[in-house]
Amino acid sequence: MLKSVLLGVMMTCTLGAAAQDTLLVQGSAPDLYLTHVVKKGETWYSLGRSYGLSPKDIAAKNKMQMDQGLALGKQLNIPLNKSNFVQTKDASASAGLRPVYHRVAEKETLYRIHIRYDRVPLDNVRQWNHLSGDGVQKDAFMVVGFVKGNGASAVLAQAPATPPPPPVSKAQTAAPETKPVLAKSQTAKPEVKPAVTRSQPAEPEAKPAVTRSQPAEPETKPAPKAQSAEPESAPSTSLGRTPVVPEGGFEQQYNNQTNNGRDAVSEKGPGTWFKSNAVVGSGKYYALHNSAPRGTIVKVTNPLNGRSIYAKVLDAIPQLKANANLIIKLSDAAQDALGTTEPRFYCELNYDEK
């Protein structure tokens, strides 16, 4: 009985944190809007770029004048209208768009959601949320459209400094994998921050073949404290089950780098995958990222289900058209641990930027 009560409390806390970490739509059509808390250095114009909207429209929605300036910590309402709110069926695959969510209320139906959000086509909602029918679950977060804007200076609605906890007490375990085989040219471009070239000790494990010309240094991993060599093979997993991560691993390195998460910076946006020859069992993932130094451990969270993994940065994201607006590329074996097989997925990153 006590275990059931504790589990219910943890689920309630998780749902509250998830609501803060997503762009939640407020109001009903035609008066739909998002909430935004002003942070240091933001202006009316940076907010306009972040949400694909005229700064004058934001000021008018909040009954303010643009010459007033913005006070740190002030909560603003960001209107959603035809100029910045997209509900077309293929919007989920478009660059420069961020999903916005509705939290399902008790006894609410898919039809009522369709009416509330300007009669968004039901087929669109089913496709965005991978639904096969019309059933919806209380407290689920459902995509009901996409907002324009680069999101560079946006603080998502009342976002906390740290990511939400997992749905259950064991959800911090992540599907292990070995190091990736990178199939594309990964040379960094001029505007991308140069990778840190600090020396890292080699690990006794066998290294996967790399198909591009680069030093082997990014493929090495610093040995965690008192950690023995881990097996190179393990049974594969099926989507929805998270295998146990060996003690230590990248999570311990992340905690050391970020002072147990207190010094971590947060970043939100779209990510994608690169192919790897991962074998389940190592409990470690790898990533490409444009600003985190090489060797940084990044915590990647799927805000739709609260699942998180820890990935080591190998290099910068190649500056290709297909990679436009991405904030991270992960080795594809992390799909199982994050609970998504979408080619592009929305995620939150936490890492030490020093």
What does pTM read for this prediction?
Answer: 0.39
Of the listed ranges 35-39, 129-133, 277-281, 316-320, the least confidently predicted one is 277-281
Mean pLDDT of 292-307: 92
Instruction: Round the average pLDDT of the chain to a whole number and report it.
Output: 74
**The pLDDT of residue 243:** 43
* Token pair listed for 21: 């970490």
Residues 234-243 pLDDT 10s: 334 334 344 4
Distance CA 71, CA 173 (A): 40
pLDDT band at 95 (very low <50, low <70, confident <90, very high): confident
Q: Is the pLDDT of residue 345 over 70?
A: yes
d(CA 307, CA 295) in angstroms, rounded, equals 22
User: pLDDT digits over 322-341, tens only?
Assistant: 888 999 999 888 888 888 88
**Residue 88: per-residue pLDDT:** 93
pLDDT in tens, 261-279: 888 999 999 999 988 766 5
Half-sphere exposure of 61 (CA within 13 A, CB side): 21
pLDDT (0 to 100) of residue 59: 92
Pick from 210-219, 246-255, 319-328 the range whose average pLDDT is largest: 319-328
Instruction: Give yes or no for residue 224 having a pLDDT over 70.
Output: no
- DSSP state, 68? G
Q: pLDDT of 149-177, one tens digit each?
A: 865 443 333 333 344 444 444 444 444 45
pLDDT at 293 over 50: yes
Higher local confidence (pLDDT), 50 or 246: 50
Q: How far apart are CA 43 and CA 269, in angstroms?
A: 21
Beta bridge partners of 345: 271
> Given this model, what pLDDT does residue 202 score?
45
* Whether residue 184 has pLDDT greater than 70: no
How far is Cα 68 from Cα 81, in angstroms, rounded to an integer? 24
pLDDT band at 350 (very low <50, low <70, confident <90, very high): very high
Q: Give the number of other Cβ atoms within 10 Å of residue 68's Cβ.
A: 10
Question: Exposed (0-12), middle (13-18) or buried (19+): which is 291, by Cβ within 10 Å?
Answer: middle
In which band, very low, low, confident or very high, does the pLDDT at 30 lie, cut at 50, 70 and 90?
A: confident
What band does 104 get if pLDDT is binned at 50, 70 and 90?
Answer: very high
Question: In residues, how long is the chain?
Answer: 354
Dig out the tokens for 94 from the structure.
Answer: 């478009």
CB of 32 closer than 8 Å to CB of 78: no
Contact 311, 250 (CB under 8 A): yes
> Band of the pLDDT at 23, cuts 50, 70, 90?
confident
